[in-house]
Structure 1
Amino acid sequence: MTTPLITDSHCHLDFPNFDAARPEFIRRAVDAGVHRMVTICTKLRSEPQVRAIAEAHDAVFYAAGTHPMSAAEEPLARVDELVALAQHPKFVGIGETGLDYHYTADSAEIQKTSLDIHIQAAQETGLPLIIHSRDADDDMARILADGYKRAPYTCVMHCFSSSRALAQAALDLGFYLSMSGITAFPKSQELRDIFAEAPLDRILVETDSPYLAPPPYRGKQNEPSYVVHTAQKAAEVFDLSYAEFAAATEANFDRLFAKAAQWAPQRTDA
């Protein structure tokens, strides 16, 4: 029986947790049917290292931006800088960017400035914006909508665990919601209910590894292969088989991350 293919739309393969055996983690994912992974650069000074991982592994793509929790510590990204990075054939998304008022509310204004820069880069490149949002629902909904009024763009709300109102605001703009290991936690029924109300054709899955491992690995280091466990629980939310849910999210990923869907390894033989 063929293993269904699925994509981990958000992970952090450059983090030190993976340094000892990065190729092994990637191999395990591929063996589990996770044939694509998008590894996310959260500080632009780390972009060369993240890019090198994508270049070294056919299954890995990458995105880059400034994480909102680092917005006050890192130099502000520039639109032209992000646009230039996006010329790489395996660079497939802008971010992650966004707003995080849980730990870093004191830097809210610089976070908003940074977010707007990333929105402009997404508009200019046509690549999807990758959003991190925590405890900032009202500002997030307003800024995303205001940006969209200026010029349309595409977007995924990564590791979505916010309110029903923010989910609806994102969906109303045509954006996507991504299910992480949080959606598989026993106490996350309210979050699962929010996803159940969303259109199936706007759903992605991710690990956000090395964080947020789903059961049965909760509390341990997460890795891209574990996206299968999140997807199995997610399939139940939509009353689908795992194979049906995997196929649906593959189509969604290909639609949103069209550059990754169109990429083909470069042949080196004559």
Structure 2
Amino acid sequence: MFVDSHCHLDKINPEKAGADLTQIVEMARANKVEHMLCVCVTLEDFPAMQQAVADFNDVSISCGVHPLYVKDSQTPIVELGTKLRQLASANNVVAIGETGLDYFYHPESKALQRENFEQHIEIAKDINKPLIIHTRDAQDDTLSLLKNGHADKSGGVLHCFTESLDMAKKAIDDLDFYISISGIASFRNAEQLRATIKALPLEKLLIETDSPWLAPVPHRGKENQPAYVIDVAKCVADVKGITLEEVAKTTTANYYKLFNNA
């Protein structure tokens, strides 16, 4: 059985997917996906996301503000922490995020992103829920803020990982974080990422779709969905020269160890 450790079920377009949300969840179940974590990107979207998946007992949720949405958030940064703490304290919220830093798309909002990230780290520690981290072109600042904020106390994952092996090792060794692998690993030009996956211990890996984006081979060009996480697992198995069953068993155990409220 598999776990999709990071998806955005509320963002999947039914017309593009050719299925409504109930059918998408059923297709995941049919493909041996036993659990899905639906990840929040803005506090404004959180109530609707929460409601959309409320009837699925095999779907957990997170709460947070993605770094690319901080600049345009309807919640001022001075109020964000209070609102995030209130929403994220709900029993059905198993993680804080996704949060982090993205200097590739929004370098102009670096200071605001860092302030947002620091608040997420502090709240994660206070309410004892792990962090879901988005990081792009911000390796040093991401690791620095996590270390200085003592994020090892909450735990967390660098999701949809595409950064360096050095960063992955530091996140594992210094923070005891997990590294989550998406469909990007199956892309033709992802040789460096596959080399990183091969070098990392399976015991610190998760798998995800990040759906509706980044559909893995052989589904490129389609609306991504949790059912396709098996293809991410197949890629990891091929890269590491191990069985699909071993990837399924270990990454599923890793998920429940990190998100122990799921």
The TM-score with structure 1 as length reference comes to 0.90
CA offset digits 1:101-146 (Å, max 9, x no partner): 1110000000000000000111011111000001111111211111
Question: Is 1:80–1:121's contact at 8 Å kept on the other side of the alignment?
Answer: no
For residues 35 and 145 of structure 2, the distance between their equivalents in structure 1, rounded to whole angstroms, comes to: 30
Could you tell me which runs of 5 or more consecutive residues in structure 2 were left unpaired when the two chains were aligned.
none
Q: Does 2:40 align with 1:13?
A: no
Q: Does 2:162 align with 1:161?
A: yes
Equivalences for residues 116-127 of structure 1 within 5 A: 116-127=118-129
Fraction of identical pairs, as percent: 38
For residues 62 and 18 of structure 1, the distance between their equivalents in structure 2, rounded to whole angstroms, comes to: 20
Find the residue that maps to 1:44 and give its secondary structure: coil
1:18, distance to aligned residue in structure 2 (A): 3.9
Q: 1:224 aligns with which of 226, 248, 257?
A: 226
1:73, distance to aligned residue in structure 2 (A): 1.0
Equivalences for residues 248-267 of structure 1 within 5 A: 248-260=250-262
Could you tell me which runs of 5 or more consecutive residues in structure 1 were left unpaired when the two chains were aligned.
261-270
CA offset digits 1:159-217 (Å, max 9, x no partner): 00011221122112100000000011122121111122112111000000000000001
For residues 108 and 134 of structure 2, the distance between their equivalents in structure 1, rounded to whole angstroms, comes to: 17
For residues 12 and 158 of structure 2, the distance between their equivalents in structure 1, rounded to whole angstroms, comes to: 25
For residues 70 and 79 of structure 1, the distance between their equivalents in structure 2, rounded to whole angstroms, comes to: 15
1:16, distance to aligned residue in structure 2 (A): 5.2
Find the residue that maps to 2:143 and give its secondary structure: helix
For residues 124 and 47 of structure 2, the distance between their equivalents in structure 1, rounded to whole angstroms, comes to: 20
Task: Tell which has more relative contact order, 1 or 2 (C-alpha 8 A, sep 6+).
Answer: 2
Find the residue that maps to 1:41 and give its secondary structure: coil
Find the residue that maps to 2:210 and give its secondary structure: coil
1:59, distance to aligned residue in structure 2 (A): 1.4
Query: How many residue pairs get matched?
Result: 255
Question: Is 2:12–2:212's contact at 8 Å kept on the other side of the alignment?
Answer: no
Name the counterpart of 1:239. Answer: 241
Q: 1:15 is aligned with what amino acid?
A: K
1:50, distance to aligned residue in structure 2 (A): 1.2
Question: Is 2:99–2:132's contact at 8 Å kept on the other side of the alignment?
Answer: yes
Name the counterpart of 2:45. Answer: 46
1:88, distance to aligned residue in structure 2 (A): 2.7
CA offset digits 1:56-109 (Å, max 9, x no partner): 111111101111001111123644433332333321110000101111000000
1:219, distance to aligned residue in structure 2 (A): 2.0
For residues 26 and 37 of structure 1, the distance between their equivalents in structure 2, rounded to whole angstroms, comes to: 9
Name the counterpart of 1:267. Answer: none
Find the residue that maps to 2:45 and give its secondary structure: helix
Question: Is 1:176–1:202's contact at 8 Å kept on the other side of the alignment?
Answer: yes
Name the counterpart of 2:64. Answer: 65
CA offset digits 1:11-46 (Å, max 9, x no partner): 111115148611111110011011111111101011
Q: 2:211 aligns with which of 203, 209, 222?
A: 209
Find the residue that maps to 2:34 and give its secondary structure: strand
Question: Is 1:179–1:203's contact at 8 Å kept on the other side of the alignment?
Answer: yes
For residues 232 and 218 of structure 1, the distance between their equivalents in structure 2, rounded to whole angstroms, comes to: 15
Equivalences for residues 55-204 of structure 1 within 5 A: 55-74=54-73, 75=75, 76=77, 78-148=80-150, 152-172=153-173, 173-204=175-206
